[in-house]
Chain A
Amino acid sequence: MLILLLILVPFIGGLASFLFGEKMAYAWAVFTSLLTLAIAGTAYYFYSQATHTTDLSFDCPWIESIGSTFSLSMSDGLSVLMIGLTGLLFPCVFISMQNKQPERKHVFYGLMLLAQAGLIGVFLAKDALLFYLFWEVALIPVYFLSSMYGGPNRIPVTFKFFVYTFVGSLVMLVALLIIYNHTPVHSFSWDAFVSVGRSLPEADQSWLFWMLFIAFAIKMPVFPFHTWQPDAYEQSATPVTVVLSAIMVKMGLFAVVRWLLPIIPLGSIHWMNVVLLLCIIGVVYASCMAMVQTNIKRLIAYSSIAHIGLMCAAIFSYSNNLLGVQGAYIQMFNHGINIMGLWILVSIVENRLGTQDLREMGGIAKIAPRFTIALVLISLANIALPLTNGFVGEFMMLNGLFNSISTYRMVFTIIAGLGVILSAVYTLGMIQKVAYGELNEKTASMKDLTMNEWIILLVIMGIILFLGFYPNALMLLVDTP
């Protein structure tokens, strides 16, 4: 039952937020998200102690006539990590927003909580139809959020994002239906899909692969399906961008691990090199784009494409020692934490200075030391410097890529390694432009972090350093793939 609460609490909390009205909205949202975090924490505890395992899965018949069950399960380290990330992210974002509240708060927080319910559902679903349902349901609140809050150009940009992902997921639905029809006793369960998917002939797998992969690639996004992403990140309100970039894009990676590689193994190996090539192109291309951006949100958006590209490449590396996949799991969590920290910092800069343009910033280090400490540390984690959380995952991913079964593994690893260097170039460049240099009219009046922001960023920095020193905490979770 515990696992059901993970979805029900934010879902009901979100619906209630619409009814409660504006006054209560903020307190209610923080309360609900903390409650969700507490449940996620309990679930993590149960999982790590291997007790109360019945609480970590839920099954009940849903639409029996077509063999679909309402089946949720928290059965592996990856779903634990993703639930942890989702649980952690929403209270952090909410608390960091205390100073600048959006208009019509109850709508904003209600939609955010509904999005959280959908996202958690994606990470828990063990039934293909249920997975598809949550996959779409998570999108709708985000569509409304991005369209209602954000930059002047937000409506068409969000619509582009919506259409991209909607087309992808519809094609995915057809692929799921085709696999479903091959199951001997028609069933949507994950186990049935895995056993029937493996036995499909390679010719079928090779086109089913693309029907599924395109949906996931659009969500991640992998080059060349990424064109919606920088615009959407730039135009959405920053709290929404956090949800998009820290969790929603992980849905794509998660879906590859859960719903593509085990179900279409031959197809995945067949197209491995193509996918790796796209990922690596994405890493280099996005890094180069990030270097020339003058808008801070676009810069981080491109940096996100580069990181996701490397994670996707590691997942597809098929290294003999599994290091690549495990590294990607760890990085999915760590990247979520780091990018959340970066976005919170960006929203602070944006709210105080009223600009996203890097050229109008500078010198903040002199007047806002706390802010600068947080910016530097989180940026270094984004570069994956040793002793920050980013390092372990990145090291394992590159190692995995190097040990890949791909014929071109050397080339891929070297070029991907280039991406690490480039990430240092643009991230350090960003620190320099924001924090150092001379103060100007706009930045001179910048206030340092308020208490609530400082607490959230301290939590994030604490996680970064803790996992940098003691990555074993994550390694234990992903050890058994």
Chain B
Amino acid sequence: MNAIVLSGIWGVVMMFAGLFLKSSKQIQWTALLGIIALLVVSILDYQAHSVQAQTYFGMMTIDVYTSWFSILITACCAMYLLIFHKDIAAVGKNEAEYFALIFFVMCGVYLLASYSNLLILFLGIEILSIPQYILAGSDKENIKSNEASLKYFLMGAFSTGLLLMGMTLIYGATGSFDITSEKFVGQFEQLSSMSSLSFVGILLLLISFGFKVSAAPLHLWTPDVYDGSPTAFTPFMATIVKVSVFVAFIRLFHFSFGNVSDAWQIAIASMIVLTLIIGNVTAVYQQSLKRMMAYSSIAQAGFMLFSIFAVNSTLAYKGILLYSVVYSLASIGVFAVIIKMKDYTYDGFNGLAKKQPVLAFTATVCLLSLVGIPLTGGFFAKYFVLSAVVEQGKYIWIVVFAVLMAAISAYYYFRVIRSMYFKTGEAAMHTEPTTWDKTLLILNAMIILLLGVLPSLVFG
């Protein structure tokens, strides 16, 4: 609870920091101080809630799982800010506001992790989304950034509408927004007694959710937005924001709609198949690494969808936690290298291993993790979400399909490794990495490797 308050307050603090602090360095330090404070507060929250779950105002329930996720996601965000704070400040003139917006997004993340009322879910989604529309367009003079912002806003507004419509229909059927209330639980006890209003409501929620996590066929905004946004913000949108939407919806679909899974499992299954095939196959044809990573984030969302698909499996909860952390760190690690380059195409990376062995090595670890090679955290992330489905005994075919798609993903991830290590070229840099940058990137890679040996560290 304190994390929610502090993230909101610190967002305001950052806005004032822009007024009173003149140097960009000071603003960056304020932001870093803020995220560290947030991390400390969420650890304290975790200790307070580790014994028993607590409900606030009948709107939010904070339990062990929620507060543990808050710690993990804050840690990922801290890693993101540590690596990217200079690049964020370099995007435009209003650096304090970019950091403020990031803290507001974090506030939305905490709300999404802890809601027990659909209204808070809606509020969380909105707090999460609106700052992102601004961040996408923060490079004001770049037409692609403007396009990204407008596209994101229009499509986002549309999906918010669908989300509200779904909630309204479910309210109509149950008479309650509180997902723990008897009325609400009773409605979704079995499929036969569920009203048709709820059925449509669930599907609308699912569509809105699919939009937020860029699941096909609702993914069309993703490549343009991720590609057009300033490179400093893309990893934030593609990782921390996306995984928290997963954690939000896994609660809703497993706790509340778990018993009526027959109503929506097929829809999720078709989303998974489409997402995996479109994400992976299209990524193969990209020439720009930034765009490839956009499609890769679609493809990875396909794997994360498995955790929603595997209803009421404890493995699914563990899996999405591990996937969130590992996928976020790996993507951040890759983007940290991309942003240092002058040319974002594959050819721009030729010969990087000779010129910057540390960058090439850390990017390789991150890419191997995204493929899901053992000894990196990515392997266990995929392992847990897939074995959650295998555990259910049916739908084995979709798991086999997913691993074949993982093999396709090896093609485009390894293509980067090929450029860096096996081809010769200039690998022109935009900015030279400092020792501090390299240390952080190595730390990031080491965490990924550590999670590849001891994945249980993130289960809390």
Binds A, one of B191-199, B389-397, B434-442: B389-397
Contact of A133 with B375 at beta-carbon distance under 8 Å, contacts A140-B368, A170-B404 already known? yes
Interfacial residues of chain B within 364-393, with CB under 8 A of chain A in the complex: 368, 373-375, 379-380, 383, 386-387, 390-391, 393
B142 on the A face (CB < 8 A): no
Contact of A170 with B407 at beta-carbon distance under 8 Å, contacts A63-B455, A64-B456, A155-B422 already known? yes
A147 on the B face (CB < 8 A): yes
A63:B403 contact, CB within 8 angstroms: no
- From B373, B386, B404, B418, give the contact of A159 (CB < 8 A): B418
How many residue pairs link A and B with beta carbons under 8 A? The number is 69
A144 on the B face (CB < 8 A): yes
Q: Taking CB as reference atom, which chain A residue is nearest B380? A: A63
Q: Taking CB as reference atom, which chain B residue is nearest A136? A: B374
Set of chain A residues within 8 Å of B212, measured between Cβ atoms: none
Set of chain B residues within 8 Å of A178, measured between Cβ atoms: 390, 396
Q: Could you tell me the dominant secondary structure of chain A's interface residues?
A: helix
B374:A181 contact, CB within 8 angstroms: no
A174:B400 contact, CB within 8 angstroms: yes
Interfacial residues of chain A within 156-180, with CB under 8 A of chain B in the complex: 159, 162-163, 166-167, 170-171, 173-174, 177-178, 180
Q: Give 1 or 0 for each of B408-421: 1 = CB within 8 Å of chain A CB.
A: 00110010001001
B421:A144 contact, CB within 8 angstroms: yes
Closest Cβ of chain B: how far from A335's Cβ, in Å? 28
Contact of A174 with B421 at beta-carbon distance under 8 Å, contacts A133-B375, A137-B374 already known? no
A163:B396 contact, CB within 8 angstroms: no
Set of chain A residues within 8 Å of B396, measured between Cβ atoms: 174, 178
For the complex, what is the distance from the CA of A13 to the CA of B355, rounded to whole Å? 25
Q: Taking CB as reference atom, which chain A residue is nearest B410? A: A166
Interfacial residues of chain A within 52-83, with CB under 8 A of chain B in the complex: 63-66
B406 on the A face (CB < 8 A): yes
Interfacial residues of chain B within 318-339, with CB under 8 A of chain A in the complex: 318
A163:B422 contact, CB within 8 angstroms: no
B407:A166 contact, CB within 8 angstroms: yes
A171:B400 contact, CB within 8 angstroms: yes
Set of chain B residues within 8 Å of A140, measured between Cβ atoms: 368, 373
For the complex, what is the distance from the CA of A66 to the CA of B384, rounded to whole Å? 9
Interfacial residues of chain A within 129-148, with CB under 8 A of chain B in the complex: 132-133, 136-137, 140, 144, 147-148
Q: Give 1 or 0 for each of B159-193: 1 = CB within 8 Å of chain A CB.
A: 00000000000000000000000000000000000
For the complex, what is the distance from the CA of A173 to the CA of B379, rounded to whole Å? 11
Q: Give 1 or 0 for each of A31-68: 1 = CB within 8 Å of chain B CB.
A: 00000000000000000000000000000000111100
A173:B456 contact, CB within 8 angstroms: no
For the complex, what is the distance from the CA of A415 to the CA of B393, rounded to whole Å? 43
For the complex, what is the distance from the CA of A180 to the CA of B387, rounded to whole Å? 10
For the complex, what is the distance from the CA of A148 to the CA of B373, rounded to whole Å? 20
- From B373, B390, B456, give the contact of A181 (CB < 8 A): B390
Contact of A171 with B390 at beta-carbon distance under 8 Å, contacts A133-B374, A148-B421, A148-B422 already known? no
For the complex, what is the distance from the CA of A66 to the CA of B385, rounded to whole Å? 13
Set of chain A residues within 8 Å of B368, measured between Cβ atoms: 140
Contact of A155 with B318 at beta-carbon distance under 8 Å, contacts A163-B407, A170-B407, A181-B391 already known? no
- From A66, A159, A167, A171, give the contact of B414 (CB < 8 A): A159
Closest Cβ of chain B: how far from A44's Cβ, in Å? 28
B13 on the A face (CB < 8 A): no
B16 on the A face (CB < 8 A): no
Set of chain A residues within 8 Å of B455, measured between Cβ atoms: 63
Set of chain A residues within 8 Å of B315, measured between Cβ atoms: 66
Set of chain B residues within 8 Å of A155, measured between Cβ atoms: 418, 422
B341 on the A face (CB < 8 A): no
B429 on the A face (CB < 8 A): no
Q: Interface size (A, Cβ < 8 Å)?
A: 26
B374:A174 contact, CB within 8 angstroms: no
Set of chain B residues within 8 Å of A144, measured between Cβ atoms: 421
For the complex, what is the distance from the CA of A163 to the CA of B391, rounded to whole Å? 27
A163:B375 contact, CB within 8 angstroms: no
- From B393, B406, B411, B459, give the contact of A65 (CB < 8 A): B459
B399 on the A face (CB < 8 A): yes
Set of chain B residues within 8 Å of A180, measured between Cβ atoms: 387, 390
A181:B393 contact, CB within 8 angstroms: yes
Set of chain B residues within 8 Å of A132, measured between Cβ atoms: 374
Closest Cβ of chain A: how far from B291's Cβ, in Å? 22
Interfacial residues of chain B within 127-161, with CB under 8 A of chain A in the complex: none
Contact of A174 with B403 at beta-carbon distance under 8 Å, contacts A147-B421, A162-B414, A181-B391 already known? yes
- From B403, B411, B418, B421, give the contact of A171 (CB < 8 A): B403
Q: Give 1 or 0 for each of A64-104: 1 = CB within 8 Å of chain B CB.
A: 11100000000000000000000000000000000000000
Set of chain B residues within 8 Å of A171, measured between Cβ atoms: 400, 403-404
Set of chain A residues within 8 Å of B407, measured between Cβ atoms: 163, 166-167, 170
Closest Cβ of chain B: how far from A475's Cβ, in Å? 36
Set of chain B residues within 8 Å of A159, measured between Cβ atoms: 414, 418
Closest Cβ of chain A: how far from B385's Cβ, in Å? 12
A177:B400 contact, CB within 8 angstroms: no
A174:B418 contact, CB within 8 angstroms: no
For the complex, what is the distance from the CA of A323 to the CA of B371, rounded to whole Å? 42
Q: Taking CB as reference atom, which chain A residue is nearest B453? A: A62
A147:B422 contact, CB within 8 angstroms: yes
Closest Cβ of chain B: how far from A102's Cβ, in Å? 14
For the complex, what is the distance from the CA of A147 to the CA of B375, rounded to whole Å? 21
Q: Taking CB as reference atom, which chain B residue is nearest A173? A: B403
For the complex, what is the distance from the CA of A397 to the CA of B347, rounded to whole Å? 52
Closest Cβ of chain B: how far from A117's Cβ, in Å? 11
For the complex, what is the distance from the CA of A174 to the CA of B403, rounded to whole Å? 8
Q: Give 1 or 0 for each of A104-141: 1 = CB within 8 Å of chain B CB.
A: 00000000000000000000000000001100110010
Set of chain A residues within 8 Å of B456, measured between Cβ atoms: 63-65
Set of chain A residues within 8 Å of B386, measured between Cβ atoms: 174, 177
Closest Cβ of chain B: how far from A235's Cβ, in Å? 12
For the complex, what is the distance from the CA of A255 to the CA of B454, rounded to whole Å? 25
Residue with the highest number of chain A CB atoms closer than 10 Å, among B374, B407, B422: B374
For the complex, what is the distance from the CA of A162 to the CA of B399, rounded to whole Å? 21
A65:B390 contact, CB within 8 angstroms: no
For the complex, what is the distance from the CA of A193 to the CA of B421, rounded to whole Å? 40
For the complex, what is the distance from the CA of A317 to the CA of B430, rounded to whole Å? 62
Q: Taking CB as reference atom, which chain A residue is nearest B407? A: A167
The 6 closest A-B pairs by CB, nearest first: A170-B403, A133-B374, A136-B374, A167-B407, A177-B390, A147-B422
Q: List 25 A-B contacts (CB under 8 A).
A: A63-B454, A63-B456, A64-B456, A136-B373, A136-B379, A137-B373, A147-B422, A155-B422, A163-B407, A166-B407, A166-B410, A167-B404, A170-B404, A170-B407, A171-B403, A173-B403, A174-B386, A174-B399, A174-B400, A177-B386, A178-B390, A178-B396, A180-B387, A181-B387, A181-B390
Known: A148-B422, A174-B400. 10 other contacts (CB 8 A): A63-B380, A132-B374, A137-B374, A147-B421, A147-B422, A166-B407, A167-B407, A174-B390, A174-B399, A181-B387
